[in-house]
Structure 1
Amino acid sequence: MNLILLSPEDITADGNATIRDPRRLRHLREVHRAAPGQHLTVGVAGGAMGRAELTALNDQQATFHCAPLTQTPPPALPVHLVLALPRPRMLARTLEHVTALGVKDITLLHTRRVEKSYWQSPELAAEKIRRHLVLGLEQARDTVLPEVTLRRGFRPFVEDVLPGLLSTRRGLVAHPGMANACPRGLREPAVLVVGPEGGFIDWEVERLLAAGCEGMHLGPRILRVETAVTALLSRLF
C-alpha cells in the first residue's frame, strides 16, 4: 500500500480523515509499522493526493490530519482494454496489474473458450472487483478507479458496441499467428482486445478484424493472460 486511499465518507466534518476497515488498519500496523506523528501519502478517491499526518492509531481506527491535498494522480493510459473473462484467480491479479499500470476502461467479454462457470464466480461481484481495483490504485499511487463493464455476448459487443469505441480509437487484437508484431510507443488512443487462455476461435478473429481492428502478436511464446496483458500495455505505451 504505497497510498492510503480515502473514501469521501472517511473525511470528517473538520476536514481530517478517519479509517476503520480492518485491511487498511492491519496494513498500517504490520507493513508501514506506522505510529502517530508519521507522515504518509494519502489520496481521496477520484481526487487529489498529498501527505497527511497520522494523529492516532489503535485496533479500531486511524485518524489523519490532512493538509490541503494538491497533487494530481498520474495520467491514465489512453486505452480501453477488452479482455476475454479469465479464470477467477487470474482475473483478480489481472485487474490489480492493469489498474496499477493506469488502465481506466475495462470490458470483460465472453468468448467461445471462456468457461461459462466463470460468470458465476464471486470474483465478479461489484465489491470484489472494486477491492482489486483499489489494491492496484494503492500500489501505483493513483486515485481514479477504472470503470469495469461486463459483456456476456460476443456478437452484440462486436456489432453494437465496438464500432463506437473504434470511432475515436485504433483497434488492436492480440492473437498468436497474426502477421504483424505488436507496435511500440503508440501516440493515439486505442482499444486493446485480448483473448482467453486458449485464444480466440477463428470466427471471433474474423469478426474483430472485420469491425476494423488490426491483428498483432507478441512473438512465438504463449503467455498467461496476466503476463500477456502487462507485456502488451508496456510495449504499446
Structure 2
Amino acid sequence: MNLILLFEDDFIAPGIVRLSDRRYSHIHAVHKPAVGEELKVGLLNGLTGSARVLKLDDQSIELETRLEQQPPPALPLTLILALPRPKMLKRTLQTIATMGVKKLCLINSYRVDKSYWSTPLLSDEALREQLLLGLEQAGDTTLPQVTLHKRFKPFVEDELPMIAANTRALVAHPYEASACPPAAQAPTTLAIGPEGGFIRYEIEKLQQAGLAPIHVGQRILRVETAVPVLLARLFPPL
C-alpha cells in the first residue's frame, strides 16, 4: 500500500480522519508509525498529500490530513476488454488502475465463457475493491469507470464508433496486423480480446467501427500480460 486512500465518511472533523478497517490493519502491521509520524494519503477522486498520526491504539488510528497535490495524470485511453476469466479479472483490474486507465469497457466475445458473466467479481463492490488496490499501489486517487456490455454486436455497432471517433483506434491482434505504433500521449481507444483472441467476424466488426489491428511481436501473450505490455508501448512514461 503506497498510498492510504481516504473516503469522505472517514472524516470525524475537518481535516481529521479515523480508520479502523483494512487500512488501519495495514498501517498497524506494516508501517508501524509512532504518534507524530507522517503517512502518504489521498482522498478518493481528490487530492493527495500527507497525514500526521494523532492517536494510535489496538482498535483505530486518527490522522491529521494535509491534501495539496494532484494525483498522477490519467492515460488518455478507453480500454475495451473482452471479459477475462474471474481469476485473471482481479489481477487485470488492479493493473489497469495502477497504470492510469480511467475508462474500461468489459465486453462479450465468442471465446468468453458465459459463466464469466455470473461471477460475483462483477458486482459494483467487488470491482471497486480491486480498483482501489490498484490505486493504492500507484499512489493514485481517481477511480476508473467500468461499464459492462454483455452483447458484442450492439456495443460494437452502436457505441464503439462514437467512443473511437477522433482517437487513435486500435485492436490488439497477432495476425494480419501492423506493428504497434510508437508511444504518444494521444487520445486512444484500444480493444484487447479474450484468451485465444477475437474471432475473424469480431475483428471485422471492430475494423468497421474504425479500429486498426496491431501486434507487439510474434509471441502470443496472455491477457494479463498483454494489457501492461500494450499500455507501456502505446504511451510514454508518466
TM-score, with length taken from structure 1: 0.96
In structure 2, give the amino acid aligned to 1:14.
Answer: P
2:77 is the alignment partner of 1:79? yes
2:17 is the alignment partner of 1:17? yes
RMSD: 1.1
After the TM superposition, which of the residue ranges 89-98 and 55-64 deviates more from structure 2?
Answer: 55-64
Gap runs ≥5 in structure 2: none
- Residue 149 of structure 2 is matched in structure 1 by 151
In structure 2, give the amino acid aligned to 1:66.
Answer: T
- Residue 61 of structure 1 is matched in structure 2 by 60
Gap runs ≥5 in structure 1: none
Q: Which one has the bigger strand percentage? A: 2
- Residue 181 of structure 1 is matched in structure 2 by 179
- Residue 29 of structure 1 is matched in structure 2 by 28
- Residue 42 of structure 1 is matched in structure 2 by 41
Counterpart-to-counterpart distance in 2, 1:127 and 1:159? 30
In structure 2, give the amino acid aligned to 1:36.
Answer: V
Counterpart-to-counterpart distance in 2, 1:64 and 1:176? 50
TM-score, with length taken from structure 2: 0.96
- Residue 225 of structure 1 is matched in structure 2 by 223
8 A Cα contact 1:25 1:59, kept in partner? no
8 A Cα contact 1:162 1:211, kept in partner? yes
**Equivalences, count:** 235
Alpha-carbon displacement from aligned partner over 1:18-56 (angstroms, at most 9, x marks no partner): 1121x1122112221223222001111111111110112
SS state at 1:127 partner = helix
Counterpart-to-counterpart distance in 2, 1:149 and 1:31? 34
Identical counterparts, % of pairs: 52
Structure 1 stretches of 4+ moved >4 Å: none
- Residue 208 of structure 1 is matched in structure 2 by 206
Deviation at 1:192, TM superposition (A): 0.6
Counterpart-to-counterpart distance in 1, 2:168 and 2:231? 14
Counterpart-to-counterpart distance in 2, 1:166 and 1:104? 15
